[in-house]
Structure 1
Amino acid sequence: MDTTWKLSWQRARNHEGVTRGARAFVALAVVLAYGWWVDWQAELMPVLLGVIASALTETDDSWRGRLRAQCLALACFGLMAGAVWAAVSWPWGLMGVMAVLAFGITMLGALSERYRAIAFGSLILFIYAGLAAHSSRAGAGEAIPRMLAGAAWYGVVSVLWHAVLPRAPVRYRLAKLYAMLGEYLRLKALLLEPVRDVDLERRRMALALHNGRVVDALNATKESLISRMGPGTPPLWLQAAMHQYLAAQDVHERVSSSHEHYDLLAQSFFHSDVLYRCQRVLTLLGEQALKLSGAIEAQTVPQHWGVTARAIEDMQAAVAHLASQAQSAGAASLPAQSRALRSLHALADNLTALAGVFAGALALPAGNAEVAVDHALFDREPRSLRDAWTRLRSHWQLQSPWLRHSLRLSLSLMVGFAIMQATADSHGYWILLTIVFVSQPQYAATQTRLMERAKGTAMGLALGWAVIQLFPGELVQAALLVLGGAVFFGARHTRYTLATAAVTTLLLLSFHQMGAASGVISARLLDTVVGCVIAAVASWLVLPSWQSRHWPRLAAQVLQTQALYLREILAQYQGGKCDHLAYRLARRNAHNADAALSNSYSAMLKEPLHVRGNAEVVAHFLCLSHTQLNYLSALGAQRGGAAAQPMDETTRELAQTLLASLQQLALELERAQQSGRVRKAHSAPAVAQVLREWGTVPAAPSAHSLMAAQLQLVGKVFPQLQAQARQLVTAE
């Protein structure tokens, strides 16, 4: 019992939601305690609003990065507060200032997640300042300094927290990453089930969509590590975290590998249990990934009991038995059988190597084994003002989703402000807050968020009314107010309905503490509905960024990054295996592009039917591109050892033809984004001709035959991918 409690405590203290909530609890509790001590309850609202706005700017970072971000956030807060103070006496002037600042600050969010958070928090503070100023410059002069003081206070809490407890966010993201990999392994195991009439396309689609989540987890973990990398040798805990992240990258490359079409394997080994044994190994490795996730979060050592090792021994024995049977029966001379056996050997070796990666994932290798490993990571944050300006200029075109979102948000706020003025709604700023909170760059995300906002508001109003009736004491209500703030920040990234309910309860308690609760419930409900309606209509009518319009560009990125990934793999086969930054960056870019494609398809399925285009073609293209990436990943997983040899001429010819064909089709799709059609090309016939001239790959599982087999698989997928790409554009 004591051990269970300790494990639960370890997981809780490393959970991102718990730590966010704990920081908000500390900051709000100190503010309220100070207000009670100096009898300052009536003036607390602006301070609390400043704390909330500052907390909304927070992202995962080191204490140094958090300090820099907090200084930038306070500068933006000062700009917003000054704008409110200058224009608050002229409502329509304030509306124009708000629209201009909303557009500019939202465009700033195109730089990175850190700037998106600062832009969002700054816009919220602008609205809070207008709400607290009561339409007078004198009111703004009193409220704004308190609001800025609350923002600065939360900044102090945040910086100190990140300085004292720097490890928890890294552990949380690593644990989440390995949990995502565990689910990916489970989904991958389903593809190996040798059963007739299995819907492989549906399973492939589920795998492709989940791969987007794995890639997002990899990127979040990488950013968490980069933010804590300083000059000099990193501390041991950070070296261990880096080792676990690189191991996860290796796992992802290996588990995303495909060595053959699964229909052929199922047909060839239908009367054998070998695929079930491979499937069992994959399932056990998925369970092992989940155990690693729990061990990282709870800082314990996972227990395996040797089950995976025995399963691998059984799998290898089954493969060896099939190979000996085929050799004695002469079946190995048949092209289809030899091809299936070669792929089965590669699959078994890959699973065995995957188990080895898991076995060494937690602890740093002994001795100087880490010296030869390149730990460099590519930082995607803007490195200078010139770099930031270049990125912003790239979004200064109407096709940019971020520019459309900025214009849409500004117009929505103007409409909300006009309604507030026309109805003389004293709480009308809640309309603007609702618009800011629910408006997202994607239509589907906006619809999801506004539904969660509406449900959370209704729940929070009911809960807040019940709390006020059940606990009339001011001290108890103050404690519940702090708890509501902690729940809001702890849940807002994962359970937004709960977070909205918590912040609505906080709001009611705050107004009740100030003696101004009359009419708040009805006003909050009505303003939330109005804000949600405005955001919904704007996402539909004002420069909607439908996913079908972006698919040619996203598809071109997929093909281009896969070509660069193939180029790096070929270099590894020439010069030997080395996980240096250039190779890992090419691999990560290919998976990022694949994830962007799958995420876009997920969003497309939530859009109206008449704007989806040909969703069936889109689905086929996604499955084919993900399959092609799987075949390339298998090439990457096989590099090293005997593969570090010069390629023969025929292998090099096919590789170069595939490389040129991928780049050519990517260029055609980029041009089609503007012209609306893909020009006919000869890349697919060229690939098919090389495949015919090449003949059959040798049966022996040598480095060259394995590479040749994988290139053949890519060459067979590419013509189908090209056909889907042409249908994709002509369907627009």
Structure 2
Amino acid sequence: MDESWRLNWQRARNHEGFTRGARAFLALACVLAFGWQAGWQTELMPVLLGVIASALSETDDSWRGRLRAQLLALGCFGMAGLAVWATVESPWVLMAVMAVAAFAFSLLGALGERYRAIAFGSLILCIYAALAAHASQAQAAQTTPLLLAGAAWYGLVSVAWAWAMPQPPVRFRLARLYAVLGEYLRLKALLLEPVRDVDLERRRMALALHNGRVVDALNAAKESLMSRMGRSTPPAWLQAGMQQYLAAQDVHERASSSHEHYDLLATAFFHSDALYRCQRVLTLLGEQALRLSLAIQQQTPPQHAGMTSRAIEDLQAAMAHQDGIAAELGGTQSAAASMARPLRSLHALGDNLAAMAGVLAGALGGPAGGADTALFDREPRSLGDAWRRVRAQLHSQSPWLRHGVRLALSLLAGFALMQATEDPHGYWILLTIVFVSQPQYAATQARLLQRAQGTAIGLALGWAAIQLFPGALVQAALLVLGGAVFFGARHTRYVLATAAVTTLLLLGFHQMGTSQGVILARLLDTAAGCLIAAAASWLVLPHWQSRQWPRLAAQVLQTQALYLRAILAQYHSGKSDHLDYRLARRNAHNADAALSHSYSAMLKEPRGVRGNVEAVANFLRLSHTQLNYLSALGAQRREGAEPVDEAAQAMAGTLLASLQQLAEQLGQAQQQAGKPFIPVPAVAQVLQEFGAAASVPASPAPSLMAAQLALVGKVFPQLQEQARQWSAPQPGPAARS
């Protein structure tokens, strides 16, 4: 019982939601305790709101990074408070300031997660300051310092927490990475099932969509490690975390590899158990990744039962048996030739699985000597760099500019409604708009429904708490608990988080003695804010995914071409997972993930604006398959330089040129609307010549690289056809601009 309790506690303290909630609990409890001693009444709510705004601007970081971020956030908060104080007695001037701030803060989203959070928290605090000022400059002068004091207090708690416990956030992200990687391996194993009438295309699509989650987890783990890397030698725990991250990258490349079309393998080995052996090894590797996830989270050694090693031995025996069958067919030239290609792919698959098992087995070991552990920092390096990134968003197709315009106009509409109805709690309309408005239409619709549900539940819970627990001390404890639940759940369970913060606010107003009419006002204002945000996401510069697809598809092809070029360089120089290679590989997977996220969002948009969804789905599936074939080339790299034959060189050069040419056509798709799509015939021609040469009995068998590039070459014409189908005029309503 004690051991189980210890493991559950270890898992909880390393969970990101738990630590966020615990920080909020500590900060709010101290505020209430101090307020209780000081006899605060009207001062309590501004300080609580300052704590909330500061916590909303928090991101995962080291204590030094968090200190810099908190100082920047306090500077932004101070300017927001000063702007409210100067304009609070001129409502429409105040609203103009808020609209400009909303637009400017939205553009900061292009700089990264840290700046998005600070911008969001600053806008929330601006509305909190106006809400607490009650349209009085004198009141604003009293409440603004209290808001800043609450924000500064939470900043102090946050920095101290990051200094005292730097490891749990890293462990949480690495554990989540291996968990989603284990699920990816399970989905990959389903492709190896050698049975008839299997819907491989549906399974490939599920794999492509889940790959986006793996890439997101890889990026989150990298940012968590990067933020804690200093100029000096990293501590042992951080070096171990880096080793686990690099091992996950290697496993991801190997897991995403495809050495042959699975239909051909299923046909060739239909009467053998070889593919079932491969499937079993891959499934066990997925379970091993899940055990690694638990081991990282609980800080315990992973439990190995030895099943993976035995499964690999059984697979090797099955492959040796197939080699014996092929040797017996040596007298029959045609039969032996027909088995040569599947057998070579089977051996490549077996070698890749064995190597993957070795990587997973060493993931919790020490860092490899001499390994390049540098990471690429995507944060702006200077004010000039930040300005260039923001300036690059000043065009009509920028999602951040469109979101900024949409948010500013939504706030103007909400403020106009507040003024027309003379609603004393009307700033809740603006808060709802800010919380639910997202750059994507689908995300906005999902968030506003969750917000409405959570608000209704929170009002019911708050009313019940007030009736059942009239004591001020119990209500204060429930208020603190509500804040902890809000911050612990707001990234994963938004309905619960909204219910918790609504309960918190209701209890806070009751503690101040101003809860009369709050329940109905909160409900109506939330509904009004949701309706305004929903209308704006449809009418004001909507960010329809069909208009983003050509750019994302072009980015997929461009990054895959750069990945192929990096792989070819590795074959000439020998395997080395240095930063340039890992960056090319990561960019290719990031582009693939962006396309899969766009497709998922497209399915949630109105039917009339989706465009040719089937062509987009086919392109996504085929581009992910093409990335799988390229990943197999990366997984096959050897320590020493390898000669590249003429056929492979010709195929690689043609593929590089063709990928870049198709990417350019897709990049210009919006300007070429209505014009015929120009095909890229070079790949099909070279592929045909390559196949004809390989079919000549006297010709040598193509190299593994050449055969793998031929698989890529077979996918490319299909990608081109899907791009042509997408560009063809579609019936139905045109997408809104």
TM range (shorter): over 0.9
1:129 aligns with 129
Q: Aligned equivalents of 2:3 and 2:573: distance in 1?
A: 50
Q: CA separation in 2, counterparts of 1:567 and 1:474? A: 67
Partner of 1:482: 480
Shift of 1:710: 0.6
Supply the distance in 2 between the matched residues of 1:557 and 1:541 (Cα, whole angstroms).
28
Normalised to the residue count of structure 1, the TM-score between the two structures is: 0.97
Equivalent residue for 2:663, pick from 658, 662, 666: 666
Deviation at 1:514, TM superposition (A): 0.5
The answer to whether the 8 A contact 1:57-1:121 is kept is yes
SS of equivalent to 1:6: helix
Measure, in 2, the Cα distance between the counterparts of 1:152 and 1:138. 22
Q: CA deviation at 1:674?
A: 2.5
Instruction: Report the counterpart of residue 734 of structure 2 in structure 1.
Output: none
1:97 Cα shift?
1.0
For the residue of structure 2 that corresponds to 1:42, the secondary structure is coil
SS of structure 1 residue aligned to 2:43: helix
Q: Distance in 1 between matches of 2:266 and 2:681?
A: 28
Q: Does 1:632 align with 2:630?
A: yes
CA contact (8 A) 2:647 2:690 kept: no
1:654 deviation in Å?
0.8
Report the secondary structure of 1:574's partner residue: helix
Taking a change above 3 Å as real, the CA distance of residues 600 and 318 of structure 1, as seen in their structure-2 partners, is same
Residue equivalent to 1:506: 504
CA distance in 1, matches of 2:3, 2:326: 53
Q: Which residue is equivalent to 1:45?
A: 45
2:640 corresponds to 1:656 = no
Q: How many angstroms apart in 2 are the aligned matches of 1:674 and 1:28? A: 54
CA distance, structure 2, for counterparts of residue 72 and residue 589 of structure 1: 30
User: In the alignment, which of 362, 365, 388 is matched to residue 364 of structure 2?
Assistant: 362
**Correspondence 1:300 to 2:300:** yes
1:721 is matched with 719
Task: Answer yes or no: is the 8 Å Cα contact 2:647–2:706 preserved in 1.
Answer: no
Partner of 1:171: 171
1:520 maps to what in 2? 518
Whole-Å separation in 1 of the counterparts to 2:452 and 2:357: 47
1:690 Cα deviation (Å)?
Answer: 4.3
1:675 deviates by: 2.4
Residue 160 of structure 2 corresponds to 160
> What's the offset of the Cα at 1:371?
3.0
Corresponding letter in the other structure for 1:595: A
CA distance in 2, matches of 1:169, 1:411: 37
Q: Distance in 1 between matches of 2:124 and 2:696?
A: 65
- Aligned mates of 2:501, 2:651 — CA distance in 1: 60
TM-superposition CA deviations, 1:84-106 (whole Å, max 9, x none): 00100011111111111111111
Give the alignment of 1:100-119 within 5 angstroms. Answer: 100-119=100-119
Q: CA deviation at 1:71?
A: 0.7
**Runs of 5+ in structure 1 lacking a partner?**
none
Q: Which amino acid aligns with 2:648?
A: T
For 1:389 and 1:221, locate their aligned partners in 2 and report how far apart those are by CA, in whole Å.
27
Cα distance in 2, alignment partners of residues 731 and 207 from structure 1:
30
Which residue in 2 is equivalent to 1:467?
A: 465
CA 1:77/1:710 → structure 2, altered by over 3 Å: closer, same or farther? same
Which residue does 1:93 correspond to in 2?
93
**Residues 562-585 of structure 1: CA deviation (Å, up to 9, x unaligned):** 000000000000110000000000
Q: Is the 8 A contact 2:687 2:714 kept in 1?
A: no
Q: CA deviation at 1:689?
A: 2.9
Q: CA separation in 1, counterparts of 2:85 and 2:369?
A: 57
Instruction: State how far apart, in whole Å, the 2-side matches of 1:178 and 1:458 are.
Output: 37
Q: CA deviation at 1:645?
A: 1.7
> CA–CA distance in 1 between the matches of 2:27 and 2:490?
17
SS of the aligned residue for 1:721 comes to helix
Stretch deviating more after TM superposition (464-473 or 334-343): 334-343
Residue 340 of structure 1 is matched in structure 2 by: 342
Please give the alpha-carbon distance, in whole angstroms, between the structure 1 residues aligned to 2:61 and 2:696.
52
| Aligned-residue identity in percent | 73
Q: How much does 1:730 deviate?
A: 2.6
Q: Check the 8 A contact 1:182/1:286 in 2, yes or no.
A: yes
Between the aligned partners of 1:5 and 1:264, the Cα distance in structure 2 is: 51
Q: CA deviation at 1:274?
A: 1.1
Q: Secondary structure of the equivalent of 1:594? A: helix
* 1:7-46 mapped onto 2 (5 Å cutoff): 7-46=7-46
1:352 corresponds, among 351, 354, 372, to 354
- Aligned mates of 2:669, 2:282 — CA distance in 1: 41
Q: For residues 661-719 of structure 1, what are the alpha-carbon distances to aligned partners after superposition, in whole Å with 9 as ceiling and x for unaligned?
A: 111111111122322267654633444334424532899xx997211111010011011
Q: Which runs of 5 or more residues in structure 2 are unaligned?
A: 731-737
Alignment CA distance shift 1:6-1:346 (3 Å): same
Task: Tell whether the 8 Å contact from 2:458 to 2:502 is kept in structure 1 after alignment.
Answer: yes
Cα contact 2:576–2:639 (8 A) shared by 1: no
Query: Contact 1:654–1:687 (CA<8 Å) still a contact in 2?
Result: no
SS at 2:110's partner residue? Answer: coil
**Deviation of 1:731 (Å):** 4.1
- Correspondence for 2:735: none
Q: CA deviation at 1:372?
A: 1.8
Q: Deviation per CA, 1:620-674: give whole Å up to 9, x if none.
A: 00000000000000000001146x2231222111111111111111111112232
Q: Distance in 2 between matches of 1:703 and 1:186?
A: 33
Distance in 2 separating the partners of 1:126 and 1:4? 46
Tell me, what secondary structure is at the counterpart of 1:676?
Answer: coil
* Residue identity in the other structure for 2:84: V
* CA 1:296–1:678: 2 relative to 1, 3 Å: farther
Choose the corresponding residue for 2:431, options 423, 430, 433: 433
Name the SS of the counterpart of 2:232 in structure 1. coil
* Structural mapping, 1:312-711, within 5 Å: 312-330=312-330, 334=335, 335-364=337-366, 370-641=368-639, 644-676=641-673, 680-681=677-678, 683-693=680-690, 695-696=693-694, 705-711=703-709
Q: Is the Cα contact below 8 Å between 1:552 and 1:729 reproduced in 2?
A: no
Matched, 1:83 2:83: yes
SS at match of 1:361: coil
User: Following the alignment from structure 1 to structure 2, what is the Cα–Cα distance between the partners of residues 419 and 363?
Assistant: 61
Q: 1:476 to 1:137 in 2, by over 3 A?
A: same
Give the letter for the 2:610 counterpart.
Answer: R
SS in structure 2 at match of 1:550: helix
C-alpha contact (below 8 Å) 1:564/1:586 kept by paired residues: yes
State the one-letter code of the partner of 2:592. Answer: D
Deviation digits for residues 163-186 of structure 1 (CA, Å, limit 9, x no counterpart): 110000000000000000000001
Equivalent residues, number: 726
**CA RMSD in angstroms, aligned pairs only:** 1.6
The 1:250–1:338 alpha-carbon spacing in structure 2 relative to 1, beyond 3 Å, is same
TM-score of the superposition, structure 2-length normalised?
A: 0.97
Native 8 Å contact 2:406 2:540 kept in 1:
yes
Match of 1:267, as an amino acid?
T
Cα distance in 1 for partners of 2:589, 2:334 equals: 37
Measured against aligned partners, the alpha-carbon deviations of 1:413-465 in whole angstroms (never above 9, x if no partner) come to 00000000100000000000000000000000000000100000011011111
Question: Cα gap change, 1:704/1:641 in structure 2, threshold over 3 Å: closer, same or farther?
Answer: farther
